[in-house]
Amino acid sequence: MMVSMVSGTATAARGPAPVADAVDPNTIDPGAPDRDDHAPAPGALIGREADLDTLAAWLAEPHARLITITGPGGVGKTTLAVEVARRVCRSNHGRVESIALAAISDPDLLPATIGRALGGTTPDVAALTVLLGKVSQSRPLLLVLDNFEHLIASALIVGSVLTHCPGVRIIVTSRERLRLRDEREYSLGPLALPATPSGTASDLATIAAAPAVRLFVARVREVRPAFRLDGTNASDVVELCRRLDGLPLALELAAARMRALPLAFLVARLDQSLTLLDRGARDQVDRHQTLAAVTAWSYALLSPDEQRTFRRLAILPGAFPLSAALAVCASDDIDRTDARGPASKPPGGDLDGMLATLDQLSSLVDKSLLNPAPAADSLDDEPWFTMLETLRQFGLARLRAAGEEHTTRDRHAQWVVASVMDACATPPSAFVPQSQFGFCAAHLAGIRAALGWLESTGDLGAMVALATRSEPFWMMRSFRTEGINWSRRILNHPGFAELSAAEQAGVWLITSNLARTQSMLPFSLRCSELALEAFTLAGHAVGVVAAENLLGAVARTAGD
């Protein structure tokens, strides 16, 4: 979409910007997207009022000459930039030119493309600065350079324009910043999400005011005019917005599906959102007709090493620390350690490999494919990261296609077991440090993922090591039902009989303790008796005492 604004007027035309006749046709990539974000009609911007006000205020400052709006694909960078341009056009009667760059594959064509939009011929930077100097002499000029991430190599051209053309200001939309002097980066995140509804009228009003909900409901009503947010569908709407990360493109694609599919059906199948949300409006640009295509565009711009790091990070659930990232992204020649033995250093590769992975992590953050997260573990200042769920699903698909899922999940489980063994007291123990509870809370998503993977691969010894050290957290932080479910899955596993007597005893012991608090007293009593027998057989004196104490606790709970 080309938007040209002159002296307070604005016109818009559908379709790609007419750049092909200004450049060598052989340099045009016909499969490239037309623009970064589908731009709605004037006045249709929803949920971005604060962002719009901030950027307009920046542009009112005389020294703010380069603003780069960064963010993941589908977050609404172009929509916001175009709307800011419209506001500037109305307020100062200057000239605004919005130029779509996604179809240009050669960075050297940037001067010619900008010049063409302004009605001139500018084969190089020198000619471009002369033209821009003339155009901006009588009135200020605002350039919107849309989809710049694949042209980062030509960032110095932008710097040259700003140096030689004081009447020109530039807004860039990109997955990453240009790294130029005096550049202001505006990091655009997904739309704000509401809290989980409680069902009250005031709660419903709060949900309806959330930006993500506002956008979704507005788009649903375009295909189902009778749709209304109410107490019967609020929880499903909140869940859908949350599972789609508040990403505007994903919400719009989901709303389009509501023409034929019930809301509850969509919500129940959001684990397959990349394939479920595969059809946008016909007049949307090709890339925005599928959610997967948006992510594929970003993925294709990564180096092979960055692609490998991105897809391996996709197996990390929720927020994750740097050490977990280093473990799953380590070089391919790591030897698997025995998780049932003494805790060893989690995998991370040699120093050179670790430094390379750190560079790749930083690059993924810069490219809006990975986000810094607040440190969940108060034990140290290790950086934490998170990935949007829509990006994670894409990364997992690529991981499977590359044949790396088994190895990567195995590395993650190995890292979780080693980390938990280092942080938690050896069971059975009468003393559990307070820090252990905070550690397990911070790593709960990883512990769950590791237990599930170890169960599926039959690594019951590592599963026992992880479960027995997690039991105090399950017990004291009200995760008892989850804890007993995991322990019973171990007991019912075909390989349980092959464990050592001490390992079996540990599982019987934690199962008994958890069952005691769930009013399962006969089962708890039998488990503690079996724990005592197994600890005795293993010659485990501390375990024998723990089992005897637990037998007494079960008896007291039963009133005996």
**Three-class secondary structure of residue 387 per DSSP:** coil
* Residue-wise pLDDT tens digits, 196-238: 655 555 688 899 999 999 999 999 999 999 999 998 999 999 9
Residue 33 in tokens: 């997207």
Residues 6+ apart with CB under 8 A from 552: none
Write down the pLDDT at residue 202: 64
Average pLDDT, the chain: 84
Over residues 8-19, the mean pLDDT reads 30
Q: How large a percentage of the chain has pLDDT more than 90? A: 63
Q: Which residues of 379-398 are buried (b: 16+ CB within 10 A; e: fewer)?
A: eeeeebbbbbbbbbbbbbbb
* Residue-wise pLDDT tens digits, 388-397: 988 998 999 9
* Best CATH choice for the domain 424-560 from the list 1.25.40, 2.50.20, 1.10.3470, 2.60.120: 1.25.40
Nearest to 113 by CA among 46, 23, 197: 23
Q: How confident is the model at residue 558 (pLDDT cuts 50, 70, 90)?
A: confident
Rg (CA), the chain: 29
CATH architecture of 303-403: Orthogonal Bundle (1.10)
Over residues 174-187, the mean pLDDT reads 95
Q: 403-411 long-range CB contacts below 8 Å, 24 or more apart?
A: 404/308, 404/311, 404/312, 405/315, 407/332, 408/312, 408/315, 408/328, 409/315, 409/449, 409/453, 410/336, 410/453, 410/457, 411/327, 411/328, 411/330, 411/334, 411/347
Nearest to 209 by CA among 236, 185, 238: 238
Q: Counting Cβ atoms within 10 Å, is residue 268 exposed (0-12), middle (13-18) or buried (19+)?
A: exposed
What are the sequence ranges of the domains in the chain? 2-187, 201-295, 303-403, 424-560
For 2-187, give the CATH class.
alpha beta
Residues 6+ apart with CB under 8 A from 287: 32, 33, 34, 102, 293, 294, 297
Over residues 480-498, the mean pLDDT reads 94
Asked if residue 43 has pLDDT above 90, the reply is: no
Nearest to 386 by CA among 332, 345, 442: 442
Residue 94 CA to residue 71 CA, distance in Å, equals 27
The residue written with tokens 């969940």 in the block is 376
Residue 466 CA to residue 426 CA, distance in Å, equals 11
Write down the pLDDT at residue 390: 85
* Residue-wise pLDDT tens digits, 416-459: 999 999 999 888 876 888 889 989 999 999 999 999 999 999 99
Write down the pLDDT at residue 91: 77
Sign, Cα dihedral of 22, 28, 30, 36: negative
CA 1, chain centre distance (Å):
28
Q: Are 489 and 515 in contact (CB under 8 A)?
A: no
Asked if residue 270 has pLDDT above 50, the reply is: yes
Write down the pLDDT at residue 15: 30
Question: How is 425-458 classified by DSSP, letter by letter?
Answer: PPSS-S---HHHHHHHHHTHHHHHHHHHHHHHHT
Q: Are 296 and 33 in contact (CB under 8 A)?
A: no
Residue 278 CA to residue 244 CA, distance in Å, equals 14
Over residues 533-556, the mean pLDDT reads 94
Q: Give the DSSP letter of residue 104.
A: B
Asked if residue 7 has pLDDT above 80, the reply is: no
